[in-house]
A = this chain, B = another copy of it.
C-alpha cells in the first residue's frame, strides 16, 4: 500500500498563494495537521479558493441547521456515496460536533436505517433523496421534510450541503484522496 495522498500533484502549505496559505494555515493550526483535501486541490488555486468559499458559505453559516446537523448531512451522503475521505474526515468532525463517539460510524455504514430522532431522520432522508437518483427528487420529499418540522431555510441547507458533497465526494474519488491518519481517531475518546 502506497502512502500517496492523491493521484494528481499535491502541494505543501508553503507552496500555496498567500491568501490560501493563510486560510488553510488557520485550519491546520486548529487541527494540528493540513487536511489532505487542501493539499490535493491546491495545485489549482482558483478551484481550491472557490471550494473553500462554498464550503464556508454552507458549513460555517449561522442560522438554519446546527453545525452537528450539517456534518450529519455530509456523513450520511458520503456514506451512501462510499467516499472514504469524507466518511473518515467528516466522521471525525461529526463525532466532535455531536459529542457522540458512535454516531458517525452508524450513520456512514447505513444512513438509510440508522436510528435517529425524528428531526435527524428527516434531515437524512431529504439528503439521501437528493444525493442518489436525484432525478426522482420531488414535491413528496419536500413535504415529508416540512411535515417533520424543517423550515424552507433548513431544507435549502440540507439540499445545498448534499449538492456540495456530491461534488466533493467525486473530487475525492477522482484523486483517490487518502484521509490523514489523525482523522481515524479524532473524537473517539472523551478528552
Contact = CB atoms under 8 A, between A and B. Distances in A.
Interface of A: 1-2, 7-8, 44, 46-47, 49-51, 53-54, 56-58, 61, 79, 81-84, 87-88, 101-102, 105-106, 108-110, 112-117, 130-131, 134-138, 142, 152, 156, 159-160, 162-164, 166-171, 173-174, 176, 179, 181, 184-185, 188-189
A169 B54 CA distance: 16
A30 to B, nearest CB: 22
A82 B58 contact: no
Contacts of A109: 79, 82-84, 87-88, 108
A167 B167 contact: yes
Nearest to A101: B184
Contact of A82 (B112, B130, B156, B167): B112
A79 B80 CA distance: 11
Given A105-B87, A110-B84, A163 B170 contact: yes
A76 to B, nearest CB: 12
Nearest to A159: B174
